[in-house]
Amino acid sequence: MSELINQTIARRRQVIDTFKQELIRRLNLAYVPEDLHEDVSLLGSGLGLDSLDALEIVLCVETCFKIKIPDESISVLRSINTVVDFVIEQQDAKGGRA
């Protein structure tokens, strides 16, 4: 694979791994990171997290990546992948990785 693709994958994998590990720890989920598909729904169906858990996710992102999820951005919390997209987008906007 090209170096650019490798870098893209490595960066995304790092954000995913960090987020999953912290999510499992904070919410005491009975899974290992490999069990959590990145597209699994966080709220409602899927992991079935509630509004209190949603707050934990917001704090999780803040702690791990020093990035705030605004109150009105509930759409970010649709899945692990949408959270990761938001983190990478915010890191790019800040001009680098946190």
Partner 1 sequence: MRVSPLKEKLAAAGAVFRERHGVGVVSHFGNLRAECGAVRDAAALADFSFARVFTLPETPGIDLLDALVAGNVPKIRFGRVLHTFLADKNGLLAADCFVANNDQEFVFICESILPDAELDALLAFGGKESPAKDLTASHAVLSLDGFKSWEVVKKIFGADIIGLPYLSIENYQFAGGPVRFIRAGKTSEFGYLLIAPVKIAAQLFDALKAGVEEHGGRLVGADAHDALRVEGRFFNIFREGERVRDPLPLGLQWMIDLEKETFSGSAALKERRAAGLKQKIIGLAADANCAALQSGAQIFHEGRAVGEVVTGCVSFVLNQPLALGLLPLELAFSGLQFRVGAPGGPVARSISMPPIMPKSLAVKLDEM
Residues near partner 1 (CB under 8 A) are 1-2, 5, 8-9, 12-13, 30-31, 34-41, 44-48, 74-75, 78-79, 81-82, 84-85
C-beta of 77: minimal distance to partner 1 in Å?
Answer: 9
Rounded CA separation 37/45 (Å): 13
Q: Of 31 and 62, which has the nearer Cβ to partner 1?
A: 31
Nearest CB to partner 1, comparing residues 56 and 85: 85
> Is the torsion defined by CA of 66, 70, 74, 76 positive or negative?
negative
Q: Phi and psi (nearest 5°) for 79?
A: -155, 170
**Residue 69 amino acid letter:** I
Residue 25 amino acid letter: R
Judged by beta carbon, residue 38 or residue 56, the one nearer partner 1 is: 38
